[in-house]
Structure 1
């Protein structure tokens, strides 16, 4: 396109300015601006500083990188490098084309930088995802005395919470106030987001309350903040207030926050209402909204609706598949979850760590250990480098299946281990009846300088209770106090149980008395602790105290009290409690309570009334193996073989593979001199393949546990042990007080 010299001269800057104003109307007019510039240069006219910036703006709009770079070279030749406005235009061109390296070089070489220069480069880096460089430039700008604009301040605040530099974000808040931007809506929303991401809901709420005007972003940020910390009811309350403001319309961001809150509290009705509103507003086709709808319906146990949403989505991403997979697992649709995973593989959908964790949850809950091993083998075969979340899920699955050898091998192969890894192993050993390994793992964790959390301490206390380690329980208590975990209700309750299992009810009661609040489990554990340690009257006194408290007894409480009365010989008190239960519609006794009464009467030798209790159980309740077993044990103790035969028959009918009934019956016959019947019972055990587990004693010496089975001579110091046992037995026969030897610690080296 040719431009006569006379025409260009007559046009002048006015014509070029008119062309620039029209440039925003179409891409063709942006191209005309560039063509006009080339026409000016072709006739050897020198453009001025007002003509150059619009040309770079046109190059940026058209993403014409080659032309922009060529024009940059032309500008340098013409000596415009010293013009700040021209350099700003060139820098903006590079930023909008994503060439941050060139923009940074140009910025560093600028002779004179103004506020536009600083704001442009800061905005550019922050907008292109390089938060660290953008924030560093912002700090340099503050030192240099340049003022930031609203757009840059908003992006800087976003960078602060993304990078986790909350202190710097708070400093910027004070800068905002000094700069006079404190009442700008976009700044206020950004500050509220900062506080929300820090989970400082008090400051976020205060900021929200002080806002003179609010838009949908303001409401969405605060609703999301409450949902983020699990305060879903508060989030829904905010949504109700938002709905009352007719000027505020629901957008996609707010909808996602509301759906998350509905799923959090299981409010299906409200979730469906929001879904209908989204359909009316045309948001139902949005990918993120669709994913949130799947999650909401799944958490509200309406998985069929979630599947319908999933099937009707016009497009899906990994989050869609993972949300549907997680929803099926949450609703115990394990086979459907595995089928969906197969569909993912057929359609070539890339699966990630979230997919694997959901699959491992399905395997664990379905009780399929083989599936867990298959997933592990897939990870190994495909040479994946799973993150800690996947490896910890594998550890947890192996622990739940009691495959602790595989769990240990996996744990030892992990390059990085976090608190969850250690806690999972400790929990696994504690739950599988291996408290010594759990305690040893805890010691190794402390040596690795990993700080325990509530889950770790709960598992450790479970191990302490199982091993009856009073010394270690006290050490755990001290660690709980040092880490300020004693305020946690579950930890204090577990501590009461651990001390009780170690036989120290005084320490249990001390922990109980110091608790600022107690729930039903706490009371039940304390009542049970007193009962199991022979303090039946104290258990009854605590029951009376409990009835005067806000927490009322339940069936478990009464079962603990009845058991305490049974073992403490308080027959009348136990029967009185049972009568109170029968008169209270909220405490109607079940099979376990009747079994406890049978045991109580049986221990007292009142076998006939014990039988009457079994045979007079109300309709809907039928005596089980526990009740007949208690009666059989009483018959054995009191030598009533006639009634014992009936009880034995019932027990072996209900639990044919349990050795307890056979052994009780055999011992009953032996105690009454019926050797032939005893031999028959032993033969019946062998015929049915019933195995008797050997009883054993456990003694802790130093950091090691020693296990002794009856007539076992495997221990290297068994001779000394049996000699000591014989000595203690002799002293007991002579009436010597041997209480001082109960907690005697043996010196195995002498």
Structure 2
């Protein structure tokens, strides 16, 4: 681009002033428009006071191509030699993740003109790009040249130590350096360390640091609240945010997101309405990042009508909001409404993502509709998501729960890079459809592929053996799980084996197996044993378990019916009638079974 002829200095100063004011106030788009107007007015490209604001604007808006053009203009104008221009361009390349360009600019700087800001730019850029070896090397190099790190340097280092446990040691070393150098008093450093500890689940250490901080910002309070959220302790979140208000801090967006999430964990509708009122009072009720959480909150509280009202009040709905509403209907056992909502979404310009599709496939599975699952699959193929492992796993699960195992197997066979969840879904599909032998064959294939099974896979395998009456295979799988893979059996595993033995009439073996179950879990597997005794009219030695069974859950009508049937079979009609009367006294109603048939279109 040719450089316009020089203009009077006063006119250029006028434009520079407008450009600098716009950038300083965060009006980055306006800043760039001012520069375009400057060029359109026939003025030359600018001087050393023009380009730092332009580079800052391109960095903030993540406009790499325009930033490169600004760099070219600075070169033509001869302004790149200015330390502030060069540093601002370095910052632009670093924030846009153009690390080779940033490093080239940095290396071209004379050592004496490298400011602390330029060192910090490189340390932060490498750290955020997970190039921690380079970040550490840059940190050590600056210290070797006598440049003392600042709080900003440490914050930059810590920015790469948040998401991976492998980086925790480096983060702790940086924290140690901050203590030694006295930079721990720098509030952004303390907040960064606090965030790192929370992200790595070190809540005890995070709480200690939080309590020792004399000055706290809303960032400090929000970081600690998110830590309690990770453990599901919503009471501590509420208490913490109350303390935050008492300390005179106003809620920001992140604090309110934590508050809404805590309310969703509690699931109390009255609390949900109170939180909603607070959002309105704080002026955040229409915030794009909060509305989906609010929809989820009402759905978790069982008020789908209120969730729909919040959804309907938003004019420009994004994919996150649509997905939240669809997922709310799925979680609220309204799969029909979820599918209707998905159809409505497809009539808009909003494109569903992987999470949307997964929720819709869950609705298809809950509804038992293979026809709907096929329609969703057609749309998945149309938007190119069929190769995504999570989508493929959802399709397999949906087809299997709709009884279309063959269609599920086609999806499975089409996936080349299979992970554990997709193997687990297909094995479970065979299990749920009574194809135990196929489940065992597939498990053998999974082992040959070198995929390590987990406790969930073994639950599916034992379920398959149970449904198909494969006693020897079930016992072999149970031994393999404990002896070969070292997986501690859960109540689900014990229940599967007990049920398998009882339904096959192997009551004596079931009793022996029952004795090996941990005492604290034994009561939970009494139901299949009682049912087996009832079916096979065994001796009266099991009459004594009736009270234990009912103590499990006194409101479970199914347990009362089981015990009554067993006693009737044993000829103890009087006591059987007592349990039937108990049903009426407690007002318990046996939940009826349900089934559905989908007619071909």
TM-score range (shorter-chain normalised) is: 0.7 to 0.9
Cα deviation, residue 167, structure 1: 3.6
Q: C-alpha separation between the residues in 1 aligned to 2:364 and 2:197? A: 42
Instruction: Please tell me whether residue 623 in structure 1 is matched to residue 522 in structure 2.
Output: yes
Structure 1 residue runs without a partner (length 5+): 1-83, 93-102, 105-118, 701-742, 746-750
Instruction: Please tell me whether residue 256 in structure 1 is matched to residue 151 in structure 2.
Output: no
Q: C-alpha separation between the residues in 2 aligned to 1:430 and 1:139? A: 50
**Once structures 1 and 2 are overlaid, which stretch shifts more, 422-431 or 163-172?**
163-172
Q: C-alpha separation between the residues in 2 aligned to 1:292 and 1:278? A: 11
**C-alpha distance after superposition, 1:66-111 (max 9, x if no partner):** xxxxxxxxxxxxxxxxxx99x635874xxxxxxxxxx35xxxxxxx
Cα deviation, residue 188, structure 1: 6.4
Structure 1 residue aligned with 2:263: 363
Distance 1:677 1:537, change over 3 A: same
Check the 8 A contact 1:636/1:644 in 2, yes or no. no
Partner-residue secondary structure (3-state), 2:595: strand
Structure 2 residue aligned with 1:640: 538
Cα deviation, residue 397, structure 1: 1.8
TM-score, structure 2 as length reference: 0.84
Instruction: Please tell me whether residue 462 in structure 1 is matched to residue 359 in structure 2.
Output: no
Structure 2 residue aligned with 1:449: 349
Q: C-alpha separation between the residues in 2 aligned to 1:561 and 1:689? A: 38
Partner-residue secondary structure (3-state), 1:271: helix
Q: Which has the larger radius of gyration?
A: 1
Structure 2 residue aligned with 1:88: 9
Q: C-alpha separation between the residues in 2 aligned to 1:550 and 1:191? A: 49
Instruction: Please tell me whether residue 580 in structure 1 is matched to residue 501 in structure 2.
Output: no
* Residue correspondence of structure 1 range 70-109 to structure 2 within 5 A: 88=9, 92=13, 103=14
Distance 1:483 1:253, change over 3 A: farther
Check the 8 A contact 2:330/2:363 in 1, yes or no. yes
Structure 2 residue aligned with 1:656: 554
Partner-residue secondary structure (3-state), 1:350: coil
Cα deviation, residue 570, structure 1: 2.4
- Taking only aligned residues, the RMSD between alpha carbons, in angstroms, comes to 3.6
Alignment equivalent of 1:292, drawn from 179, 192, 196: 192
Distance 1:622 1:222, change over 3 A: same
Distance 1:533 1:331, change over 3 A: closer
Instruction: Please tell me whether residue 135 in structure 1 is matched to residue 35 in structure 2.
Output: no
How many pairs were matched up? 586
Structure 2 residue aligned with 1:518: 418
Partner-residue secondary structure (3-state), 2:161: helix
Cα deviation, residue 519, structure 1: 2.5
Structure 2 residue aligned with 1:283: 183
Cα deviation, residue 503, structure 1: 0.9
Check the 8 A contact 1:303/1:331 in 2, yes or no. no
**Once structures 1 and 2 are overlaid, which stretch shifts more, 657-666 or 325-334?**
325-334
Structure 1 residue aligned with 2:493: 593
**C-alpha distance after superposition, 1:335-394 (max 9, x if no partner):** 444344334444443323333222222333345543332222334467765423233222
Instruction: Please tell me whether residue 498 in structure 1 is matched to residue 398 in structure 2.
Output: yes
By relative contact order (CA 8 Å, sep 6+), the higher-ranking structure is 2
Cα deviation, residue 464, structure 1: 1.0
Cα deviation, residue 547, structure 1: 1.1
Partner-residue secondary structure (3-state), 2:162: helix
TM-score, structure 1 as length reference: 0.69
Structure 2 residue runs without a partner (length 5+): 1-5
Q: C-alpha separation between the residues in 2 aligned to 1:524 and 1:194? A: 46
Instruction: Please tell me whether residue 692 in structure 1 is matched to residue 566 in structure 2.
Output: no
Instruction: Please tell me whether residue 243 in structure 1 is matched to residue 139 in structure 2.
Output: yes
Q: C-alpha separation between the residues in 2 aligned to 1:281 and 1:339? A: 34
Q: C-alpha separation between the residues in 1 aligned to 2:223 and 2:521? A: 45
Check the 8 A contact 1:508/1:526 in 2, yes or no. yes
Check the 8 A contact 1:392/1:420 in 2, yes or no. yes
